[in-house]
Amino acid sequence: MSEEKGLLTGEHYLLGDHACAEGAILAGCRFFAGYPITPATEIAERMSVRLPQIGGTYAQMEDELASMNAILGGSWAGVKSMTATSGPGFSLMMENLGLGIMLETPCVLVNIQRGGPSTGLPTLVGQQDMMQARWGSHGDYAIIALSPTSPQEIFDLTIRAFNLSEKYRLPVLVMSDAEVGHMTEKVVIPPPQEIEIINRPEVQRGDIEPDHFRIFRDSANGGEGYVSPMIKVGDGYRIHVSGLTHDERGYPAMYAEANEWNVARLMDKIHANRHDIIQVEEHDLEDAEVVVVSYGISARTSLWPIQQAREEGLKVGYLRLITVWPFPEERVRQMAKNVRALVVPELNMGQIVREVERCAAGQAEVVGVNRPGGDILEPHDVLNAIRRAAGHV
Amino acid sequence: MSSSERLRILGYEPLTESDWETGLHPMDDLLRGERLPHIWCQGCGLGTALSTFVNALQWLEKNQEWDLDKVAVVSGIGCTGRIAGYVRLDSFHTTHGRAIPFATGLKLANPELKVIVLSGDGDLAGIGGNHLIHAARRNLGITVVCVNNFIYGMTGGQVGPTTPHEARSVTSQYGNYEYPFNLPYLAAASGASFVARWTTLHARRLGWTLRDALAYPGFSFVEVIAPCSTAYARWNPDGKGLDPESLRRRGLEIMKHYQEVGRIEHDIHPKDAHIKLNEKGEMAEIVEGEFVKESRPNLQEAIDQRDVWAEKAWQRAKKALDERPDLPAQTEHIPRTEVQLGGFGGQGIMSAGKIIGRAAALYDQLESCFTQSYGPEARGGAAGSQVIIASDSIHHPHLVRPGSMIMMSQGAYSKYIPNLAPGGMLLIDSELVTLPDDHRADITTYGIPATRIAEEAGNNRAANTAMLGFWTAIVGAVSQDAMRQAVIESVPPKTVELNAKVFDIGYERGLET
Ligand code: SF4
């Protein structure tokens, strides 16, 4: 039963991409700018149909450079905004992902990953953009990336992505993949009152004399990780923001100390709030000798081999990174002290495994289970890796 | 919530003193005094472009009751790109070339805003050229002011997309072998509804044009030809180098030159709006004026015209959701059940698979995961779709060993049959699949003439529905009511009755088997 105009409250049998779009809509997204690309196109399609039904606007841009920029503009106009893409488009979006980070602009960028590099495998799955998600735009910054395993979860995590982006004022990435995006499963869209929606910190028209306002003001008490309030364009604050290194006023500041202040601001807000941002799912860790650390579709497909391994009597635990970035360093570091090995299945030639290795720091053996894009991992490959890691060959 | 309460929650402490420097200049309600002096060279045309723009806004505020709080300025990168940093308006200094898409987002998200892009020729016509033509094509209701100085100034004077043929620059020291864009022609051809060009010499006329352009409902494009006294002048006739004294003089000389070569021609075809050099490489002709003023619905108006269709679509979606019946959930434990469907394009192989999944998920309240084969084989030729149903979570979303198959073409049969689990059930359209001599003996095969059944009922496109009825009766993983309901709500409204009938026939035939 739908209760609020335009919302599809109820149970649906939805394509992952469509679930993503519905999550965005429930989160309050009313502006989408995108460019068609397999396997993310269905998100744009759904948004083009749904947004006009609820007073939102869909813009099909000329390319992904434009898409990413347009959602930054949309967000500064005070409207929650999103774009969605895949590998080649993700590369193009890196330029203005950086602008979004620099201007501290809330918005959501969804990457339905396919096999790469280059045009790669347009229709087939991959998880090869995980490091690009972390480091893809030039310069130093911190990022938030979430990784769903099902249509229901891409729905849920798209809402969470909006909430985090609004709360911490930055573009948040939903790093899904072709498998989840193109899979159809049951999705429950809850009534809006059951969903927590976070809106950006914002001063409103008239709150402050515009000449007493600074758009990137540091916290009053000098606290790390303070997120300064935004304005809505047109509210009379007459702000200026620039992709250049800037000061509190947003004015270009071309010297090293300014860069230090500027970059620290972008990184501290994520680091200081990491416990709020990081979400993991874990089970069977109490007695675990081997822990499978994974994310997204590879985490999901690892559950079956884990189950089989446990049936074989192997003590296997499961740690799923719902938040991949920031990486749950503390959790992995602590876990590495108590287990024999960490097995890291992923659909790339070894990306997140490097983070796990870094955090394990030699305390536990770290084993990657890898294949590049094209298909999900074979259950027996993961099972064999678990067996070997447990010393049962 | 009061302002002070809001600020307390935000942890925001306003400054105790004003942050703005004003009272220095007649325009400084619209200029950021604290940012002056600006970075531009002596003799540069950008100051004139900026003051003319500010003048036009002041005029609009006074005479057309513009609320300048609602004006946003967006710039890209380059000397002109710095304009955004000097105007006391909501202003954005974006990335190189991307001012227009940023402005597109601002304007579409809040159509009340007046959005103006002020940037240079390299920014708008070089790296951002694609955005320029598309914004013009869409007739997006913004104004683009392109200050054209024929060169990349900020990076030190490299050849650009507007550098005249044969003109010199750091990277065209032997003369530019490329040809420049005629920007008014480009904008007009792309669909801009207002197109004009002025040099900074004609500041008053430029001001009048800017007023009109800013107030224009569609995409307005104004090119401002401005002297670059440093980078362009250095390389082209009579350049006097970088000495500050001669720079200022150089700027004046160029303006004087504009006076000599400028030719005002309103309403001409923009392709005739030439900028020409003579054989010595000196500017010989600049045609200026207002070339295009056209009225057609702007992008927002065109978007708003679709609201009625969106509302109808919403009513349909809501009705479909509200009309869903409550059916009893499956109480039996259903083990992981994998189904492979195959056929050729147009038989509804995808929709049939999705119907099984939908019935299981929404009505039997089971876990169900539907996937379809993408890739080249899914275009035309063979079509395949897969469903997994289970009471427990479906961890692995691909088929491992399907226990049943619905095959509606010979090609699909040959392709998929090796995967069927031993003891599995093969369901075929018996008139479309001929079993070969070496057909697997370890499986059970069931056939009905599904296409013929559908044809006899009035539409052969319902053949997949007949197969679904047949499959429901034989395999039994999904309940009959759930399947029938999923069929009804998945087929075109006009064919509901026919499909229900065909489903029942298929189901009966299944029971008889
Ligand atoms: S380089 Fe040219 S365009 Fe840039 S400020 Fe100097 S004169 Fe003006």
Among B41, B31, B24, B476, which Cα is nearest to B248's?
Answer: B41
Which pairs from B451-454 meet CB under 8 Å and 24+ separation? B451/B408, B453/B502, B453/B505, B453/B506, B453/B509, B454/B502
> What is the tens place of the pLDDT at every residue in B463-483?
999 999 999 999 999 999 999
CB nearest B374 (choices: A123, A237, A304): A123
pLDDT at site B318? 95
Helix, strand counts (H, E) of chain B: 17, 15
Ligand 1 nearest atom to the CA of residue B40, by list position: 5
| Poorest-pLDDT segment among A59-73, B9-23, B192-206 | B9-23
Report CA B174 to chain centroid distance, whole Å: 41
Is the Cβ of B305 closer than 8 Å to some Cβ of chain A? no
pLDDT at site B290? 98
Q: Assess contact for B482 and B364: CB atoms under 8 A.
A: yes
Residue B26 preceded by cis peptide, ω within 30: no
Chain B residues in contact with A81 (beta carbon < 8 A): 105, 109
Task: Copy the structure tokens of residue B213.
Answer: 């352009």
Spatial distance between the Cα atoms of A284 and A280, rounded to a whole number of angstroms? 13
Task: Copy the structure tokens of residue A306.
Answer: 């884990």
Query: Testing the interface with A: which of B5, B89, B110 to mutate, by most A Cβ within 10 A?
Result: B110
**A/B interface, count of CB pairs below 8 Å:** 265
Give the start-to-end residue ranges of the domains of chain B.
35-294, 334-512
> What is the tens place of the pLDDT at every residue in A232-279?
999 999 999 999 999 999 999 999 999 999 999 999 999 999 999 999
A2, pLDDT greater than 60: no
CB nearest A81 (choices: B98, B105, B317): B105
> What is the tens place of the pLDDT at every residue in B13-55?
999 999 999 887 788 899 999 998 999 998 899 999 999 999 9
pLDDT at site A149? 98
Task: Copy the structure tokens of residue A304.
Answer: 């079956």
Give Rg (Cα) of chain A.
21
Residue nearest to atom 8 of ligand 1 (CA): B44
Ordered domains of chain A (ranges, CATH): 10-194 (3.40.50.970), 210-275 (no CATH), 281-389 (3.40.50.920)
B139, pLDDT greater than 70: yes
pLDDT at site B463? 97
Bigger pLDDT: A282 vs B373: A282
pLDDT at site A63? 98
Distance in Å, CA B221 to ligand 1 centroid:
22
Residues 98-117 of A with CB under 8 A from B: 98-99, 103
Task: Report how far apart the first and last C-alpha atoms of chain A are (Å, whole number).
Answer: 53
Helix (H, G, I), strand (E, B) or coil at B217: coil
pLDDT at site B379? 52
Residue corresponding to tokens 């790093």:
A175
> What is the tens place of the pLDDT at every residue in B380-406?
567 999 999 999 999 999 999 999 999
A4, pLDDT greater than 90: no
pLDDT category of residue A220 using cuts at 50, 70 and 90: confident
Q: Which residues line ligand 1 (CB under 6 A)?
A: B 40-41, 44, 46, 79, 149, 153-154, 228-231
pLDDT at site B57? 98
Distance in Å, CA B133 to ligand 1 centroid:
26
- Asked if the Cβ–Cβ distance from A31 to B108 is below 8 Å, we say yes
Q: Residue B251: which residues within 8 A CB-CB, separation 6 or more?
A: B42, B43, B44, B45, B227, B229, B233
Which pairs from A350-353 meet CB under 8 Å and 24+ separation? A351/A127, A351/A128, A351/A130, A351/A131, A352/A130, A352/A293, A352/A295, A352/A321, A352/A324, A352/A327
Chain B residues in contact with A52 (beta carbon < 8 A): 303, 306-307, 309-310
Q: Residue B189: which residues within 8 A CB-CB, separation 6 or more?
A: B270
If 0-12 CB within 10 Å is exposed, 13-18 middle and 19+ buried, where does residue A287 land? exposed
Spatial distance between the Cα atoms of B383 and B380, rounded to a whole number of angstroms? 8
Q: Residue B229: which residues within 8 A CB-CB, separation 6 or more?
A: B41, B42, B43, B44, B247, B248, B250, B251, B254
- Asked if the Cβ–Cβ distance from B105 to A31 is below 8 Å, we say yes
Counting every residue written for chain A, the total comes to 393
Is the Cβ of B130 closer than 8 Å to some Cβ of chain A? yes
Distance in Å, CA B127 to ligand 1 centroid:
19
pLDDT category of residue B264 using cuts at 50, 70 and 90: very high
Ligand 1 nearest atom to the CA of residue B45, by list position: 8
pLDDT category of residue B236 using cuts at 50, 70 and 90: confident
Q: What mean pLDDT value characterizes chain A?
A: 96
The proportion of chain A whose per-residue pLDDT surpasses 90, expressed as a percent, equals 96
Helix (H, G, I), strand (E, B) or coil at A93: helix
pLDDT at site A101? 98
Residues 57-116 of B with CB under 8 A from A: 69-70, 72, 74, 84-85, 88-95, 97-98, 100-110, 112-113
Name the residue of B75, B123, B229, B232 to mutate for ligand 1: max ligand atoms within 8 A of Cβ.
Answer: B229
CB atoms within 10 A of CB A196: 8
Distance in Å, CA B162 to ligand 1 centroid:
15
Helix, strand counts (H, E) of chain A: 13, 16
> What is the tens place of the pLDDT at every residue in A79-105?
999 999 999 999 999 999 999 999 999
Residues 162-191 of A with CB under 8 A from B: 179, 182-186
Chain B residues in contact with A318 (beta carbon < 8 A): none
CB nearest B90 (choices: A30, A207, A239): A239
pLDDT category of residue A1 using cuts at 50, 70 and 90: very low
CB nearest B85 (choices: A38, A95, A240): A240
> What is the tens place of the pLDDT at every residue in B210-225?
999 999 999 999 999 9
Among A96, A69, A66, A74, which Cα is nearest to A24's?
Answer: A74
Chain A residues in contact with B358 (beta carbon < 8 A): 13
Spatial distance between the Cα atoms of B371 and B389, rounded to a whole number of angstroms? 12
Spatial distance between the Cα atoms of A136 and B52, rounded to a whole number of angstroms? 41
Name the residue of B41, B83, B225 to mutate for ligand 1: max ligand atoms within 8 A of Cβ.
Answer: B41
Architecture, CATH, for domain B334-512: 3-Layer(aba) Sandwich (3.40)
Among B331, B292, B26, B284, which Cα is nearest to B165's?
Answer: B284
Spatial distance between the Cα atoms of B67 and A238, rounded to a whole number of angstroms? 12
pLDDT category of residue A392 using cuts at 50, 70 and 90: confident
Chain A residues in contact with B304 (beta carbon < 8 A): none
pLDDT at site A175? 98
B374, pLDDT greater than 70: no
Residues 334-373 of B with CB under 8 A from A: 354, 357-358, 361-362, 367-372
DSSP 8-class letter at A210? G
What is the pLDDT averaged over residues B342-362? 96
The per-residue b/e assignment along A89-127, b for 16 or more CB within 10 angstroms, e otherwise, is bbbbbbbbbbbbbbbbbbbbbbbbbbbbeeebbbbbbbb
> What is the tens place of the pLDDT at every residue in B86-115?
999 999 999 999 999 999 999 999 999 999
Residue nearest to atom 2 of ligand 1 (CA): B228
State how far the alpha carbon of B360 is from the alpha carbons of A22, B136, B342, B370, in Å.
22, 50, 20, 11
The proportion of chain A whose per-residue pLDDT surpasses 70, expressed as a percent, equals 99
Residue nearest to atom 6 of ligand 1 (CA): B41
Spatial distance between the Cα atoms of B189 and A392, rounded to a whole number of angstroms? 71
pLDDT at site B244? 65
Residues 115-144 of A with CB under 8 A from B: 123-124
- In single-letter form, the type of residue at position A131 comes to M
What is the pLDDT averaged over residues B327-343? 96
Tell me the sheet residues that pair with B115: B72
- Asked if the Cβ–Cβ distance from A57 to B314 is below 8 Å, we say no
Spatial distance between the Cα atoms of B502 and B395, rounded to a whole number of angstroms? 34
Q: Assess contact for B314 and B375: CB atoms under 8 A.
A: no
B376, pLDDT greater than 60: no
CATH number of this structure's domain B35-294: 3.40.50.970
What is the pLDDT averaged over residues B65-84? 97
> What is the tens place of the pLDDT at every residue in A117-145?
999 999 999 999 999 999 999 999 999 99
What ipTM score was computed for the predicted complex, to two decimals? 0.97
Spatial distance between the Cα atoms of A199 and A30, rounded to a whole number of angstroms? 13
Q: Taking the model in full, what pTM does it have?
A: 0.97
Three-class HEC string of A352-390: HHHHHHHHHCCCCEEEEEECCCCCCCCHHHHHHHHHHHC
Spatial distance between the Cα atoms of A379 and A384, rounded to a whole number of angstroms? 9
pLDDT at site A109? 98
Distance in Å, CA B206 to ligand 1 centroid:
20
Q: Assess contact for A341 and A367: CB atoms under 8 A.
A: yes
Task: Copy the structure tokens of residue B271.
Answer: 């392709």
